[in-house]
């Protein structure tokens, strides 16, 4: 058979490759396959009889089909020196390795309500508006356009998570076995201790008073009057500013006994006249102890969260109270404090707000939502088994940043 110079040189390379015992490189096997394929296309090889020389054995290298570097040595060694006309060329089955999927994991902290990553959208501020009638000069306050939707969504979120205020709020700490007068007094003392103090700590201090004061009279007005100031200071020691609060409580007990018939005052002015009692405590005490909603008890949570929502722009709790009372329905005055305090304890925290778990941020209703600025990518090398072989892949773990 007539063969070209290129075919003869390729045949020599093939014979040398038969004795190679080490792993054939991908580039070398590819070059063999390429030479044979090019030669088969460039030249027409005339078929001869069975007694032709051995150089025809390399014609099998040009056969089309999938090629894998693992099969290159066996393909060359298994090719016979001579073959008969009409006998098919033996082929080796090649299985391509399936691609290894790269898994992406979102930080649990940024997971949404339903487990999927929440898409945080920054809302637009829609504050309450003051409208003045030019004819009569009457001023009307129009509430924020979306306040009812926000309020109802927060109520739904609060039902799913129990907050400290739900079980240890000041209005729930008084002993049920006491008289109404003693329960009102305990509620007042709990509110005085709650200033600059967490609900859990306040509950601990109230429990100390209920269990450690000599009984009778126990934790009552008479019991506080009888206990020495150093002992009282020790019992309420966990709360913030306990030294000042000891003085306030002792002075309040004296005023109640001498000016208010041993009961707490029935007016906001009377409550605010007591040492250490401000507007927030007075309105909350009036609502919890006497059942009268004469104002909104605005603490740091209510002030902070309503400003984040863009309902107003105020500088302090008292200014916030006046703004809210101008348009919020009166039937909401009592519950809004409990609602937003619990929301601020569980989701809208003072530090590290969980916007990824908040429905308001997901729906674009909160102008104060923290929108992610980027993602930090961590590369971690792992081994994943595939059949009997181990394939090495790089798993990319993305943690959404805020």
Active site residues: 280
Alpha-carbon gap, residue 263 to 240, rounded angstroms = 26
Alpha-carbon gap, residue 297 to 99, rounded angstroms = 61
Q: Going by DSSP bridges, is the β-strand pair 389-400/375-386 parallel, antiparallel, or unpaired? A: antiparallel
Alpha-carbon gap, residue 303 to 322, rounded angstroms = 11
Contact yes or no for 324/143 (Cβ under 8 A): no
Q: Of 193, 188, 219, 199, which is closest to residue 286 (Cα–Cα)?
A: 188
Alpha-carbon gap, residue 249 to 362, rounded angstroms = 45
∠ Cα 131 136 140 (to 5°): 25
Alpha-carbon gap, residue 361 to 118, rounded angstroms = 8
Tokens 């080490």 locate to: 22
Contact yes or no for 244/250 (Cβ under 8 A): no
Alpha-carbon gap, residue 30 to 38, rounded angstroms = 12
- Number of Cβ within a 10 Å radius of residue 209: 22
């Amino acid at each position: 058979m007539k063969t070209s110079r290129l075919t003869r040189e390729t045949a020599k390379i093939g014979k040398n490759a038969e004795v190679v015992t080490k792993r054939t490189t991908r580039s070398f096997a590819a070059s063999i396959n390429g030479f044979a394929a090019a030669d088969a296309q460039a030249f027409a090889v005339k078929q001869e009889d069975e007694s032709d020389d051995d150089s025809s054995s390399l014609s099998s290298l040009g056969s089309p089909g999938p090629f894998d570097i693992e099969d290159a040595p066996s393909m060359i060694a298994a090719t016979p020196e001579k073959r008969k006309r009409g006998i098919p060329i033996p082929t080796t089955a090649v299985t391509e390795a399936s691609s290894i999927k790269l898994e992406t994991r979102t930080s649990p902290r940024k997971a949404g309500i339903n487990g999927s990553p929440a898409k945080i959208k920054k809302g637009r501020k829609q504050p309450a508006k003051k409208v003045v009638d030019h004819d009569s000069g009457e001023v009307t306050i129009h509430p924020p356009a979306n306040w009812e939707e926000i309020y109802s969504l927060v109520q739904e979120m609060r039902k799913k998570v129990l907050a400290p205020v739900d079980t240890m709020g000041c209005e729930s700490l008084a002993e049920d076995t006491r008289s109404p007068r003693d329960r009102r007094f305990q509620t007042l003392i709990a509110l005085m201790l709650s200033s600059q103090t967490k609900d859990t700590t306040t509950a601990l201090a109230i429990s100390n008073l209920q269990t450690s004061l000599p009984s009778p009279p126990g934790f009552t007005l008479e019991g506080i009057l009888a206990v020495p100031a150093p002992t009282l200071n020790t019992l309420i020691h966990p709360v913030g500013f306990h030294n000042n609060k000891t003085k306030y409580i002792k002075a309040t007990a004296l005023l109640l006994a001498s000016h208010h018939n041993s009961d707490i005052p029935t007016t906001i002015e009377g409550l605010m006249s007591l040492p250490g009692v401000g507007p927030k405590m007075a309105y909350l005490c009036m609502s919890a102890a006497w059942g009268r909603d004469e104002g909104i008890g605005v603490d740091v949570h209510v002030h902070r969260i309503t400003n984040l929502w863009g309902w107003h722009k105020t500088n302090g709790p008292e200014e916030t109270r006046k703004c809210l009372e101008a348009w919020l329905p009166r039937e909401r005055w009592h519950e809004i404090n409990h609602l937003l305090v619990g929301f601020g304890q569980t989701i809208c925290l003072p530090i590290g707000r969980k916007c990824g778990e908040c429905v308001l941020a997901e729906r674009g209703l909160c102008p104060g939502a923290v929108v992610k600025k980027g993602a930090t990518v961590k590369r971690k090398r792992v081994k994943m088994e595939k059949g009997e072989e181990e394939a090495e892949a790089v798993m990319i773990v993305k943690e959404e940043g805020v």
